Amino acid sequence: MDSYQDYKNHLSKIADVEYSIAVLNWDQEVFMPEKGAQHRAQQISTLAGIAHELSVDEKFGKLLKKLNEESLAETEKLNIEESLLNFERSKKYSTAFVQKMSMAISESFVAWQEAKQKSDFSIFAPKLKVLVQLKREECELLGYQNYPYNALLDLHEPKATVAELDVLFEDIKKELVPYVQQIANAKQNDDSLMFNFFAKDKQLAFTEVLLAQMGYNFKAGRQDISTHPFTTNFGSHDVRITTRVNENNLNEILWSSIHEGGHALYEQGLLIENYGLPAGSYLSLGIHESQSRLWENNVGRSYGYWKNNFKKLQEFFPENLNNYSAEDFYKAMNIVRPSLIRTSADELTYQFHVLIRYEIEKELISGKIEVDDLPKIWNKKYKDYLNIDVPNDAKGVLQDIHWSHGSFGYFPTYSIGSFYAAQFYNQAKKEITNLEQQIENGELTPLLNWLREKIHVHGRLFAAKELCEKITGEKLNFKYFLAYAKLKYNKLYQLKSLPNPSEGGAM
């Protein structure tokens, strides 16, 4: 190996193995029969070991160092620099550790599924203990400053730190807690229209209409059902989403499908010619979440969006919705009310769900709390922050898939993504002529093209903070989310206070 083409070929081979793992993971969560679990864990573990060995190959390392000293085109140089960072990080792991982690994740996921079905945390706890211990070891392998959790944060949101996130979540507590209370004291809107019988097949068919309207390419993807909605990809020409259906609650599928559709549009927007390269990979999970949250909330929960789409929804469910207007539906979908389930939460109290998980993860990884403490601590925080009593484990500590995947450090990116989304959408309105009128007309292509140009095509060639400044002229700033929220909900709940765009702090 001595050329840039050799470098591309090697990364393509790694991508082939990693996407094969992704196919097995997708099948495990969507179609795999129960008895396949044991050998599926073994298969994924074997492939994870192969991918790791390719990633830390000494010849590949020498090639990266050689190319890093050569005169290359700007994009090639950035690819090499990012790959060299990944190589040095990967070298900190042994193949045995990677395989052990992979096996633990597969076994943990199966245990979580059973535990959630039976609403019994004790089924999941033994496997989770193994995983948490491995994650603590991973922090030591990677190294960190100040907080072990910083090592895991960096895997999902590079260069983010506990110190920064603590400030961000203090803004949430300072600004959103009293605002949500103000809404709670106002006259409440009615959301009963969301809770009739809506046939599963019709729900799926309708959300596929919405996904196509967004620009999701069904020739390069599909939608299925899983326990927990997710997006996965095997290259930008095969990006799949799953959703969740509740025949008595229309909220479940709408926000799951639109949210995952936003993720999928990002993956489909990565350039196929950069397959396997940093330039062909998503930037960070915060940026990824900005895409899903922008489509789900800034677009999907807007009045203009449903002025266009409510008639289509009525055609699918005339017996339930013909006596309602788009405005009724808009008010019903934007109820602000503390709730048990994160994925079904409104966009304001949603941030409290993320805050709870962030606070728990920090202490769990540091060893201040242990796995057996989780249900009690979880339930207490839901009472403290949302004034909700958690009735059982399934609706409490077992509701998310993330810990069974070993995805510690992931949850904060949901709030980071919400705030990036508001800031990006604010900029898009400045740069796209009559954007909100276009959304009302069902013309979503201009927004998608703007996101493709500003975010998707760059892959991982900029840091998230750098990209945000490049797009909006400043760092991530909570004030845009707060201003967006107050402008919207002041009208919905007829509140007197006006949004103050100077509120909030930068990250």
Active site residues: 260
Selection from 212, 221, 200 nearest residue 312 by Cα? 212
Could you tell me which of 266, 297, 269 has the C-alpha nearest to residue 422? 297
Other Cβ atoms closer than 10 A to 380: 12
Element (H, E) at 471: helix 464-472
Q: CA-CA distance, 88 to 388, in Å (whole number)?
A: 45
Distance (Å, whole) CA 145 – CA 166: 15
Q: Give per-residue burial for 425-452: e unless 16+ CB within 10 Å, then b.
A: bbbbeeeeeebbebbbeeebebbbebbb
Report the side by side order of strands in the sheet with 231-233: 223-225, 239-243, 231-233
Helix/strand/coil (H/E/C) assignment for every residue in 128-146: HHHHHHHHHHHHHHHCCCC
Handedness of CA 420, 426, 427, 429 (dihedral sign): positive
> Around Cβ 336, how many Cβ atoms within 10 Å?
22
Residue 506's φ and ψ, nearest 5 degrees, are -90, 155
How is residue 405 annotated by DSSP? G
Q: Give the 3-state secondary structure of residue 223.
A: strand
State the Cα–Cα distance between residues 64 and 223, nearest whole angstrom.
38
Smallest CA-to-CA distance from 388 within 340, 425, 324 is with 340
> Using CA atoms, how far apart are residues 4 and 152, in angstroms rounded to an integer?
31
